[in-house]
Every structure is written in C-alpha cells, then in structure tokens.
Amino acid sequence: MPLDRHPVNSLGFAKPQAETRVVVAMSGGVDSSVVAAMLKDEGYDVVGVTLQLYDHGAALAKKGACCAGRDIHDARRVAETMGFPHYVLDYENAFREAVMEEFAEAYLGGATPVPCIRCNERVKFRDLLETAKDLDADCMATGHYIQRKLGAAGPELHCAADANRDQSYFLFSTTPEQLSYLRFPLGHLASKAETRALAAKYGLPVADKPDSQDICFVPEGNYAAVIEKLRPGAGQPGEIVDQAGNVLGEHRGVIHYTIGQRRGLGIGGTGEPLYVIRLDPAARRVIVGPKTALATRTIPVREINWLGDAALDSRGEWHVAVKVRSTRPPRPAVIRPLSATEAEVELLDPEAGVSPGQACVFYDPDSPRILGGGWIWKGR
C-alpha cells in the first residue's frame, strides 16, 4: 500500500475517522441517538442536527411523536453525553409547504397519503442533506433500518436485516445521488434489542425511550383534526351510498374515511359486511361495497424513482415483488413502464384496499434489494 494511502474506514472513506465529518440526523429517539454515539465512539467528527418541523409550543405539549420539543431536548442531551456539537434547525415553513399542505390536499382529494415518505424525500434527504454538505460533511447518517450496499453500478438500497424493523417502504424515493451521500449504520442489526443494548452501553439518556407511533404532526392519530385545522370546513357531511348509488346513511366528512375501512360506518343491518371501496370528495360521497369489490389487480403508478441498474423503460416489463402498504409483505407483480417515471403494475394475485396516495414499492424478487417505487393514483 502506498504510504499516502489510508485504509478505507467503516463509512467508506480512505482517511482517518477523525478527519471524516458526518452529520447525523437526530430525531431524539433511540435509533438516531445510537448512530451518533456509535460514530463518535469510533472516532468520527460527528455533528448532530435536529429539525424543528412544526410549532414548538404545540410540540412541547405532545408526547409519543418525533421532532417534538421533548425530542429536541433529548437529542441535545445525547450530544452533551457523547461530547459532539448539536444544532437545531427551524424547518417549520419548509415542512408545512412540502409535507403538511400536500397531506391535507391528498385527504381532501380522497387519497390516503404517506407524509413520512414526503418528509424523507423533500426535507430530510434534500434540504437537510444540503445543509450537511454546507457543513463540509463527508456524508450524512440516519437511524433508519435499511442497508446501503455497493454494487457493480454503484450504491444500492437493500432491506434491513431485521424484517420487522425494515423501513424500505418509506425510503423508496431516495435517489442514487442521495444514496451516494447517505449512510445507515443500523441496517445490519438483527433486532431493536441490539440497538437498545448499544444505547445502554453508551449510557445514553434515551436508552429506554419508547418508539414513536404517530406521524409527528398528527397527535393520537387524529388525521381529521389536523386537516380541519389546515383546511377549515373540510369535514362537511354527505351520503354513504352503495355501488348502485342507493343511500345507506350519512357520513361526517370524507376526511374521516379510508379505502378498506369497515368499522365506524354506522350503517348496520345491511346483511353482509360493507367496506369503503371508493371516496368521491367532489360529491361528498363515501361509496361502500362487499370485500370482493376491494380486490385490485392493476395499479397505475407515477412519480417513479427507479433504482435498478438498467433504465426502467429499457424493457417492456419487469418481474418484481411489490408492497402496496407498509404493513404488507411484498407480492409478485409485473411492472409495465409507460415512461421513465410512470408505469402500470399488475399484481399476480389481487390485493384488497389499494388506495390512491399510497406508495407502491418495487423489490428484486431474488434478493433484498429495493428497485425503487412510485405513487399510486387514480389513473386516467
């Protein structure tokens, strides 16, 4: 080895850890705290950054979600414990415009959005990543459970070793350029228990902190209340109808319902169980039907972020596995590209409850590699 050539460190740089600056996106939770502590312990030049994404006063009064006032405090305590600098950046306006406003519009349009994906795509992996570069960082690390591996054509995105913690559904829109700069030090761990054990080892004050469950700006999962606040008057009542248009009852606002919902419809006595199969916000109607009416085989997908080695539209079809909900396992499917960013996805076995606004994420059927994904829409 030449004398001026240093061995490649664990983050992939041919220089000493102390000369490798890494910005860690710290939510205040145990995962990102462990990433920061672990990298600091390994000798890296760590800078912690926490984003304030919405009203700090409201955040202080809320528990159980990321990016709140308590979480900012916890991230700062971890930085103090491990001895690295920590900054809080005010991203309220950017977050509201890039994530919250679209969330409200999607619900008003009868879709079921996934704001955490948009937050990763438009705030954390775009704006924060640019901030990391401004701080002269060599890379940015997060506490996401996903793996970045080097392939023949460059960095690839792979599922986490722990399938129960895998966050690939929420990270499909990570671009190749972003992937070259990002690092995910927890993706190889076998369980969350290992992460908590590391937190205890480093003496972190968040070692026993519970995982957040809610979307950070939706306390207690009350989507309708948030939408009403963003769009006053959005919860207008209307009719619940069957597929033939027969009125079965009245609803309290389309924003209270999602595709596939069965409970809380208030239309008992109809015989067979009925599910929400479609939403018509323009007519203020909730359309219900039997479970069989929920079965979907063909899904229009757009805004595709493709992570395969060859271009998406370089061939007529791709045999893959897809996820149409974060909680469901990948299912066999065929992608038929319509352009570089739009395709029709055919499920080999129909899925129930496929909803516009959700993501359709593509997986290599023969490996844990993520091939990208796109957004489900209503089609033409």
Residue-wise pLDDT tens digits, 47-71: 999 999 876 444 444 444 444 578 8
Mean pLDDT in residue range 31-54 = 96
- pLDDT tens figures, 191-243: 999 999 999 999 999 999 988 777 888 877 788 888 888 888 778 899 999 99
- pLDDT tens figures, 301-315: 999 999 999 999 999
pTM beyond 0.85: the answer is yes
Written as one letter, the residue type at 283 is: A
- What is the percent of the chain with per-residue pLDDT over 70, rounded to a whole number? 94
Q: Which of 23-27, 138-142, 143-147, 258-262 has the lowest mean pLDDT?
A: 258-262
Q: Is 159 a known active-site residue?
A: no
Among candidate residues 66, 139, 159, 216, the one labeled active-site is 216
Angle of CA points 209, 186, 9, to nearest 5°: 130
Instruction: Give yes or no for a contact between 48 and 26, defined as CB atoms under 8 angstroms apart.
Output: yes
Question: How far is 104 from 303, CA to CA, in rounded Å?
Answer: 19
Question: How far is 154 from 164, CA to CA, in rounded Å?
Answer: 27
Mean pLDDT in residue range 103-117 = 88
Per-residue pLDDT, 229: 86
Q: Which helix (H) or strand (E) holds 116?
A: helix 115-119
Mean pLDDT in residue range 97-117 = 89
Instruction: Label residue 379 by pLDDT band (50, 70, 90).
Output: low
Per-residue pLDDT, 1: 43
Question: How far is 47 from 54, CA to CA, in rounded Å?
Answer: 22
Per-residue pLDDT, 61: 45
Q: How many CA atoms lie less than 13 Å away from 302 in the CB half-sphere?
A: 6
Is the pLDDT at 99 greater than 60? The verdict is yes
- Domains, the chain, with CATH or none: 17-220 (3.40.50.620), 236-289 (2.30.30.280), 293-376 (2.40.30.10)
Q: How many CA atoms lie less than 13 Å away from 156 in the CB half-sphere?
A: 18
Among candidate residues 67, 119, 139, 159, the one labeled active-site is 119
Mean pLDDT in residue range 334-358 = 95
Instruction: Give yes or no for a contact between 43 and 18, defined as CB atoms under 8 angstroms apart.
Output: yes
